[in-house]
A and B are shown apart, each in its own frame.
Chain A
Amino acid sequence: MNHTVIDAHNLVKVYDEKTIPLYALNGVHLHIESGEFIAIKGPSGSGKTTLLNMIGGLDVPSTGEVIIDGTNINNLKGNALIDFRLNNIGFVFQSYNLIPVLTARENIEFIMLLQKRSSKEINTRVNELLKQIGLEDKADKRPGELSGGQQQRVAVARALAPKPKFILADEPTANLDSVSAGNLLDMMLQLNIQEKMTFVFSTHDQRVIERARRVITLEDGKIVQDSAPKKITHPMYEN
């Protein structure tokens, strides 16, 4: 059964309100159901990052509200908000995703330790995730010893580990070559199908956009197009 995980009403974010107001977001309505695989596209400066930060509880809107699985996160502050993010939202950033002094395995373990999961549970889950991202043989390598694509895979696994309601990925492929970018997206799609994990990612890479089921186009802080969920054309998933 699908249900609403993200409900954003009339999101507005204004910068420099006193001088020349800059509307990074200008009245965005967004409704996302569990299991969706959504790309947010738009030119640079259109508000993609701002929108994702709003939904992720990293930034507060000037007006409007964000409701995650029934919780209005604008009412959460400080530690409550951090805990909410830890337990409900997975993050993949463009860069600086991993702790450089920890191995791939430890990076994934780390977030579950923050959740105070039992070491037995952590072990099972981490092994499972390493298998899913195909990096079992690199488990004990530090980020510096991994390729950009491998690092982003670990970041996805890390985001997935706490079993969040959804994963936000802000231009996860921006620093990758097109082959690695394609592979990362394939992996994310696979997780979307197998684990029913909801993904929301921003990009302006056309080949990445092609893999999305739903594409939201932003321009000047407004949604100008919201494609209906479509069937994926990628050969891997034609069934």
Chain B
Amino acid sequence: MIAKLSWRNLWRNKTRSLITVTSISFAVLLAVLMQSFQKGVFDHLVKNVVSFYTGYIQVHKSGYWKEKILDNGFLLNDSFQNKITRLPGVKGIVPRLESFMLVSGGSFTKGCMVVGTVPALENQLTGLQEKITAGKYLEANDRSVIIAEGLAGKLKLKTDDTLIILGQGYQGSMAAGKYPIKGLIHFGSPELNDGFVYMPLQLAQELLSAENLLTSIVLDISDPLQMESIQNNIISLSGEGYETMNWKELLPEISNHIKADGASLSIFTGILYFIIGFGIFGTILMMSVERKQEFGMLIAIGMKKVKLSLMLIQETLLISLIGVLIGILLSLPLILYLHLNPIRLGGQIAKVYEQFGFEPYFPTSIEPGIFLQQSTFVLIIAALLGLYPLWYIHKLNPVQAMKR
């Protein structure tokens, strides 16, 4: 009977209920859409950034990230590497030996990052092969290199020319070598385009007199949400002597940018919910005043205040629930559509994005957590506001209430 009463009371003032439901659904729709957009854009950004070079997780010898020198490298250990590869959620790993060196084409010399890597694995993680603009991609046994386009231009080199690499090897040894350029790669960012040389891992170890040495193991994972748990697994697996860092630690600027942006969105969502809260509260307030006499009568004839309050809370929750459900039902197809047909940016921003090798798409995230979180929020607000009638009924004097 109480349920029937609540339900019918909802339809008592149809216009008001309709306005309340509409505003709640609209708020949910807007909030879900905003969150989903932001999450989607950030996920997209992170995926782009991470798959560019860094990976989601890197393992180094402790101290390497602070001081990136070969002496902070570690010896390749097959069983350790296999254990990491076999961890659930790990999609692939790339062992690298990285060192800053001088490269020259004869008359010009420049400093740049020389990366020794396993070409096939590297390609799986970063799609390096697709960035080839001239010549061919590396094979594991090649005794040649591929270099960034910008660098090649500065050194006045093209494919099949010879690149000279000079620098310090492992444990203070001298490192020098001459290698044919097998291919050129293009990086969006000018900085990177001027500063990268890739060579097969074994060749790099030979050049640096660092047999079996690695500076980092880079991980690709299948589900970014599992990153932290995978990281923890590796930490317990590797023990002391290694440092395991995720992209947030490797690229703090990006992580901070996302955090700051997330905070500003939270403020916006907060304001949105504040407005909605007021809307719901207005409804409750008007309803309470309008039905004062009825409440007085109910208490007079013998309805306990607790029971009456529960009925009113039920009404508030019911109307909010309807609003939330409609909001989610409306947002689902919209978000799904925008997920499958992401908004593509045009103009300057698109150019900047493309320059950095990012696709200028803005897909929405369809993470169920977003819907759940937003609906929970609205329902909590409704439940809190639903406490008002509790207080209103508590102090209601039936004799006073029934007076006109």
Contacts and interface: CB of A to CB of B under 8 A. Distances in A.
Interface of A: 53, 56, 58-59, 79, 82-83, 85-87, 91, 93, 95-97, 99-102, 106, 109-111, 113-115, 158-159, 162
A85 B300 contact: yes
A86 B301 contact: yes
A4 B313 CA distance: 42
B374 to A, nearest CB: 31
Given A101-B8, A101-B12, A109 B301 contact: no
Nearest to B296: A96
A179 to B, nearest CB: 25
A95 B296 CA distance: 12
A93 B297 contact: yes
Nearest to B1: A113
Contacts, number: 62
Nearest to A159: B301
Given A95-B293, A100-B12, A111-B301, 14 more contacts: A53-B399, A56-B300, A58-B398, A79-B304, A82-B299, A82-B303, A85-B300, A86-B301, A93-B402, A96-B402, A100-B294, A101-B9, A102-B8, A114-B302
A82 B305 contact: yes
B298 interface: yes
Given A58-B300, A58-B398, A91-B300, A99 B305 contact: no
A99 B298 contact: yes
B5 interface: yes
- State the main secondary structure of chain B at its contact with A: helix
Q: Which 4 residue pairs spanning A and B have beta carbons closest together?
A: A86-B302, A101-B8, A96-B293, A85-B302
A40 B307 CA distance: 34
B301 A158 contact: yes
Which of B4, B8, B9, B402 has the most CB atoms of chain A within a 10 A radius of its CB? Answer: B402
Nearest to B294: A96
Contacts of A95: 293
B399 A91 contact: no
Nearest to A115: B302
Nearest to A111: B301
Contacts of B398: 58
Interface string B1-40: 1001100110110000000000000000000000000000
A221 B14 CA distance: 45
Contacts of B294: 96, 99-100
Interface in B206-228: none
Interface in B256-299: 293-294, 296-299
Interface string B295-321: 011111111111100000000000000
B306 to A, nearest CB: 8
Contact of A87 (B12, B302, B303, B306): B302
Contacts of B1: 106, 109-110, 113
Contacts of B304: 79, 82-83
A85 B398 CA distance: 12
23 contacts: A58-B398, A79-B305, A82-B299, A82-B305, A83-B304, A85-B300, A93-B402, A96-B293, A96-B294, A96-B296, A96-B402, A99-B5, A99-B294, A100-B12, A101-B5, A101-B11, A101-B12, A106-B4, A110-B1, A111-B301, A114-B302, A114-B307, A158-B301
